[in-house]
């Protein structure tokens, strides 16, 4: 293992290389860069994870599959920023579900510029090189990198390589490319309804700070998206920007001692007594609160499918996720619903250990919003997806999952996003995924893909080689 310390000219003990992670303060983004911190620190490289006080706490408390507090080489920097007023999540507009209630905290992240700049300058004195890996939407916060001679920055894209490529291709006015008939399926979902206009403005405000990056990193691997990584590399070859597929970030081998842990989640105990591939896991992430009507239709559809399920039913995250209860409220479910599904379904009204659930042999399917974090976790664990996209990159992730990888089905058609998903649609979707020949074939493909992804992280394999290459580059 490389020794990452030396003594500098000033007589101080110097780190060879340190890495600073700067995530966007939203759960899917916080989690991915914390998981990447675990992987980088395994190479004996110190990692400094920065954020607001509330969001650093959120990242640590919600991570699953490992304990960040037990990591000796990861250092958390929690900075106080002025409080901001965030509106309550809205659930009435089915045509645009983007979580606009997060925008104030995204904008307030500009208050991190000064403390992060001070941290980078301090680390630059005691390190030969400072590597900053920042969310693509936090570029303005790390602008100090441009004036620190021994610092360099890497843009982290929290979405799939497929989604990033489509964006670039559309900016090129859909210029014909080689093998386009294989790589770009027909009927790519429109971006209409994916974002709010305010968020588009926020994204654009970050682009001008992308000029000095040394490379781009992705939570994907070439087993899944090799063709799209190749296309992205071709597009930026003349600019000298390198691309690395460093995923999967999430743990792929979970601690077997967790089975005997007193802190083990109750739903895992229930899964232990279920048959292999007999349970569908239902969860739609942290950004959306479903309407009462949507909850009712989903509840009835799950019950009518007669398939066993675990359903995470909770409110969207607000600014301070640990202040107050995120329970959606039992009143929104049909009267007596809990009793009517006893023994068949479990409702989880708080945070659930998603990676551990997906890794359990009893799980045979995942009804998901298709956020990229969830997609990668499901793919890694070999679980097929019933796709119910809500906003952002999710409609296009649905295309990747269902049309290209062929490991899922569509529950909600993006072209009909303003229509309510009825209990009949839910029932049919669950039956197809969990109790049909078509579902069995998807499950087989998902299991094979998951096995290939996990194998690729082994010594001498493609994903491990990609990560080794990145570490060699930043420690050169």
Q: Chain-centre distance of CA 73, in angstroms?
A: 23
CA-CA distance, 252 to 308, in Å (whole number)?
Answer: 25
Rounded to 5, what percent of the chain is helix, strand, coil? 45, 15, 40
Give the separation between CA 380 and CA 354, rounded to whole angstroms.
12
* Cα–Cα dist 440/438, whole Å: 5
Count of other CB atoms within 10 angstroms of residue 52 = 20
Going by C-alpha positions, the residue among 219, 208, 223, 224 that lies closest to residue 243 is 219
What 169-178 contacts at long range (C-beta under 8 Å, 24+ apart), as own/partner pairs, is 177/231
CA–CA dist 453, 460 (Å, integer): 13
Closest CA to 137 of 210, 83, 62: 210
- Pick the catalytic residue: 4, 55, 134, 135? 135
Q: Is 351 exposed, middle or buried (0-12, 13-18, 19+ CB in 10 A)?
A: middle
Instruction: Give the Cα separation of 440 and 435 in Å (integer).
Output: 8
Q: What angle do CA 288, 295, 101 make, to 5 degrees?
A: 20
Whole-number Å distance between alpha carbons of 132 and 307: 46
* Contact between 373 and 32 (Cβ < 8 Å): yes
Catalytic, 135? Answer yes
Tokens 């896991």 found at: 281
Residue pair 445/406 in contact (Cβ under 8 Å)? The answer is: yes
Distance of CA 416 to the CA centre of its chain: 25
Per DSSP, which regions of 97-158 are E strands?
127-135, 151-157
Quickly count: other Cβ atoms within 10 Å of residue 262's Cβ.
Answer: 4
DSSP secondary structure letters along 356-373:
HHHHSTTEEEEEE---HH
Kindly give, in sequence order, each residue whose CB lies less than 8 Å from that of residue 257, ignoring residues fewer than 6 positions away: none
Q: From the candidates 29, 134, 157, 326, which is the catalytic residue? A: 29
Q: Which one-letter DSSP state was computed for residue 168? A: H
Whose tokens are 């914390």? That residue is 34
CA distance 417 to 93: 10
Active site residues: 29, 135
């Amino acid at each position: 293992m490389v020794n990452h310390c030396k003594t500098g000219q000033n007589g101080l003990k110097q780190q060879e290389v340190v890495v600073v992670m700067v995530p966007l303060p939203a759960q899917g983004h916080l989690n991915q860069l914390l998981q990447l911190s675990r992987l980088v620190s395994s190479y004996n490289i110190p990692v400094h994870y920065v954020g607001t006080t509330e969001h650093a706490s959120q990242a640590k408390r919600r991570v699953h599959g490992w304990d960040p507090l037990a990591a000796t080489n990861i250092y958390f920097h929690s900075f106080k920023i002025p409080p901001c007023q965030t509106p309550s999540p809205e659930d009435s507009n089915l045509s645009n579900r983007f979580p606009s209630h997060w925008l104030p905290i995204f904008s307030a992240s500009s208050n991190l510029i000064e403390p992060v700049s001070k941290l980078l300058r301090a680390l630059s004195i005691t390190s030969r090189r400072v590597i900053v890996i920042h969310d693509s939407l936090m570029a303005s916060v790390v602008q100090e990198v441009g004036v620190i001679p021994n610092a360099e920055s890497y843009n982290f894209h929290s979405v799939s390589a497929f989604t990033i490529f489509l964006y670039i291709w559309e900016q090129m006015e859909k210029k014909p490319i080689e093998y386009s008939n294989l790589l770009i399926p027909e009927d790519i979902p429109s971006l209409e309804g994916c974002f709010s206009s305010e968020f588009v403005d926020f994204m654009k405000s970050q682009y001008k700070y992308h000029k000095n990056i040394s490379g781009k990193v992705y939570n994907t691997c070439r087993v899944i998206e090799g063709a799209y990584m190749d296309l992205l590399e071709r597009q930026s070859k003349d600019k000298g920007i390198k691309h690395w597929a460093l995923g999967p970030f999430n743990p792929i081998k979970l601690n077997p001692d967790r089975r005997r842990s007193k802190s083990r989640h109750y739903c895992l105990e229930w899964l232990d007594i279920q048959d292999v591939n007999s349970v569908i896991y239902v969860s739609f992430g942290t950004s959306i609160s479903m309407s009462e009507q949507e909850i009712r239709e989903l509840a009835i559809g799950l019950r009518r499918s007669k398939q066993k399920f675990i359903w995470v039913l909770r409110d969207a995250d607000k600014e301070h996720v640990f202040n107050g209860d995120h329970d959606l409220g039992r009143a929104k479910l049909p009267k007596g619903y809990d009793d009517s599904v006893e023994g068949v379904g479990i409702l989880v009204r708080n945070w659930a250990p998603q990676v551990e659930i997906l890794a359990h042999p009893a799980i045979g399917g995942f009804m998901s919003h298709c956020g990229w974090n969830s997609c990668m976790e499901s793919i890694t664990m070999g679980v097929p997806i019933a796709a119910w996209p809500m906003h952002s990159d999710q409609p296009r992730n649905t295309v990747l999952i269902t049309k290209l990888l062929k490991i899922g089905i569509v529950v909600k058609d993006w072209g009909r996003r303003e229509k309510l998903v009825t209990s009949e649609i839910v029932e049919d979707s669950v039956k197809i995924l969990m109790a049909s020949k078509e579902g069995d074939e998807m499950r087989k493909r998902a299991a094979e893909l998951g096995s290939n992804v996990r194998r690729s992280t082994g010594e001498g394999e493609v994903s491990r080689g990609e990560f080794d290459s990145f570490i060699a580059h930043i420690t050169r």
